[in-house]
Structure 1
């Protein structure tokens, strides 16, 4: 027998309207630690237990990000609700089954459209969709095709619903105009932030207090406000699917890898690119972007990605880590050049190229969409980028120092 729990104690404050709303779209933009994803995960599990007709489709832009995000979050919700005996969680295929009825939570990435459009369920209806990190979906048409997959006849009293959760990095995103600028009774568009999360520890709150020193970042990552993007550092770029194997067939193409170190607050980031020195194009084909990585984790991940033998330029501000990586498997890691003008020179070199980004590089797209020139106290732009959205941007700069932008040729040794 399922143990009786008092849901308000588990969910906490700030999400009453979200929990009760029955319109087509529930859209939640919020800061970090605002409970948006954990609350949605709890809602998914509770709805399945309460209604035998409900099945969920959980989507992110790329399938490979689902296991460590939504899938893990839903397993947490199952444990939090103390209903583990009733759910079966599998990784091959990636799905969760409510065993008393056979209802399912299915997981898909938009990088394989056929898998999204051909979904069927054996029990009940596919009437719920959760799009996590919806900001990553840069094409409104792609969302529309996904939205159309949630349809069909339902029993009386049932309804279809699409839930979108995301961090509001840029006010230029289609999500703002579609759901926040044009009010509709069929849409619940809400903003949440860490202040409604009573489950945060004192150390968590200290991080947000520190974040206030960077007002622009605090406005978005702290208060959940839309980020205002003005003065992009790199504006000659596009998102486009490509086969990296075909790109490497050109004799003018060389690989370029860069590594930026992080740990608690900042991620460790690996840039994986191909540089066409004749066409003046940079192809971004893969990435690593993760917080809390030890040097051992970095070695394991880069090896797992298949890049352990590549020549990687890393942040030379951390020579001890570089030495460790070299000694323990990444023998071709080298420190990048540093100097008083290295950032500006590196940016100038890269701005001479067109940047083509594979859709699966979602973190790179987020950073380059928000990497802007800083401003002085009079709100005038200065010739220096902001110290934010710069982890993959720095890694790209380290990787590209191997190329002579003036001559258009590689200087790889």
Structure 2
């Protein structure tokens, strides 16, 4: 294939703030950053540029669950191809999810840790599998899962290729107790670049974008430190400690005669996501199983209905946040079992008290639920610094949706979904 040379000036395309990141060739390149810090877009640009540069390189892109890849890394890499003006040289497929550099046959593969066999069985057709990008690496709660990925990027590469093996991790640093901090940030070795970036290195933010962070700084300093400055989140005073992440067979759980389904919906749009909690509850064994979720910003009522119906939950009884107009619209769109949650005095704390008596088992696919429950804490009095009997107004979208879903059980022991 004849290649037409398109000359571009990389600093004009990529921007500043990532010089060391761009040049690093050590084994591990780890970047924690705030929202809008360009970390994912810069990483996507780096891979497209360097796959073209290194003719034998192939890339494996990983997230904890495969279903989250299309709207994240896959979209970012397509954006990078377009920004670099090289669309004609790439074959981009959605089924299977894959990108191929046409002049050489180099590939970008996409895999989820929910199907580990597909991760460990990749055989490249051209060159070597030498690079791995783990996006939202915070979602990977088990260091052993990372070790499996690390071991998959093995094997000799001829020196004349100029290639190097490298794993890149990008993530938001919600929890200082995460294994990533201890492994890469607390005591990095010579093969590790561990860096922090934030929105202030993103020269393409407009005044409205910057205003979001300034408002966050004033109204929610705790979130600003993490989502604004990229600092590690300090998790103290967790509300729920009665949970574990464990795979389970939902059909097997449903055979238990005392198990009932429970669905809850919390509305969001621009800054907050719309969140659907999908669970099973057994009031006899005091167990809650969390088996699925919908978690997305910018969803209209039409899009909410579409996603719920597509997921197969249109006939489920859904308790939703207090938005009568939205509930009526969703009813008209086919969610005929949706009802408004019964809010009252102390409903939040009462719901929390009820849930704290249960053991919560969370399926690994519910990555947003795991992120929220591991960061949902009691608030702090700004004057005294002491914990107060009120949850933080953060990491609470699926937590609220869970309360709505379970309120009928907490309010009436005789209620069932039969």
TM-score above 0.5: yes
Alpha-carbon distance between aligned partners in 1 of 2:331 and 2:389, rounded to the nearest angstrom: 35
1:197-346, aligned counterparts within 5 Å?
A: 197-212=202-217, 213-316=219-322, 318-346=323-351
Which stretch has the larger CA shift, 153-162 or 258-267? 153-162
Q: Deviations over 1:23-69 (max 9, x none)?
A: 00000000000000000000010011001110000000000000110
Query: Are the structure 2 counterparts of residues 158 and 106 from structure 1 closer, same or farther at C-alpha, using a change threshold of 3 Å?
Result: same
- How far the C-alpha of 1:155 sits from its partner, in A, is 2.0
Q: Deviations over 1:153-202 (max 9, x none)?
A: 11213210000000000001000000000121100000000000001122
Residue aligned with 1:46, SS:
helix
Aligned to 1:181: 186
Residue aligned with 1:191, SS:
strand
- How far the C-alpha of 1:404 sits from its partner, in A, is 3.1
Residue aligned with 2:348, SS:
helix
- How far the C-alpha of 1:412 sits from its partner, in A, is 4.5
Aligned to 1:90: 93
Alpha-carbon distance between aligned partners in 1 of 2:408 and 2:113, rounded to the nearest angstrom: 34
1:317-396, aligned counterparts within 5 Å?
A: 318-376=323-381, 377-396=383-402
Q: TM-score, normalised by structure 1?
A: 0.98
* Aligned CA-pair RMSD: 1.0
Aligned to 1:36: 39
- How far the C-alpha of 1:2 sits from its partner, in A, is 2.9
Alpha-carbon distance between aligned partners in 1 of 2:19 and 2:390, rounded to the nearest angstrom: 44
Residue aligned with 2:109, SS:
strand
2:122 to 119, 127, 132: 119
- How far the C-alpha of 1:150 sits from its partner, in A, is 0.4
- How far the C-alpha of 1:353 sits from its partner, in A, is 0.5
Alpha-carbon distance between aligned partners in 2 of 1:405 and 1:220, rounded to the nearest angstrom: 37
Q: Deviations over 1:114-146 (max 9, x none)?
A: 000101101110000000000000000010011
- Are 2:404 and 1:398 aligned? yes
Residue aligned with 2:293, SS:
strand
Residue aligned with 2:374, SS:
helix
Alpha-carbon distance between aligned partners in 2 of 1:2 and 1:112, rounded to the nearest angstrom: 39
1:42-53, aligned counterparts within 5 Å?
A: 42-53=45-56
- List gaps (5 residues or longer) in structure 2: none
2:165 to 152, 160, 169: 160
Q: TM-score, normalised by structure 2?
A: 0.97
Alpha-carbon distance between aligned partners in 2 of 1:412 and 1:288, rounded to the nearest angstrom: 21
Aligned to 1:143: 146
Residue aligned with 2:152, SS:
coil
Alpha-carbon distance between aligned partners in 2 of 1:124 and 1:297, rounded to the nearest angstrom: 42
Q: Deviations over 1:240-271 (max 9, x none)?
A: 00011100000010000000000000000000
Alpha-carbon distance between aligned partners in 2 of 1:162 and 1:119, rounded to the nearest angstrom: 16
- Are 2:66 and 1:60 aligned? no
Residue aligned with 1:393, SS:
helix
Alpha-carbon distance between aligned partners in 1 of 2:40 and 2:188, rounded to the nearest angstrom: 23
Aligned to 1:172: 177
Aligned length: 411
- How far the C-alpha of 1:411 sits from its partner, in A, is 4.6
- How far the C-alpha of 1:405 sits from its partner, in A, is 7.3
Query: Are the structure 2 counterparts of residues 263 and 406 from structure 1 closer, same or farther at C-alpha, using a change threshold of 3 Å?
Result: closer
- How far the C-alpha of 1:340 sits from its partner, in A, is 2.1
- List gaps (5 residues or longer) in structure 1: none
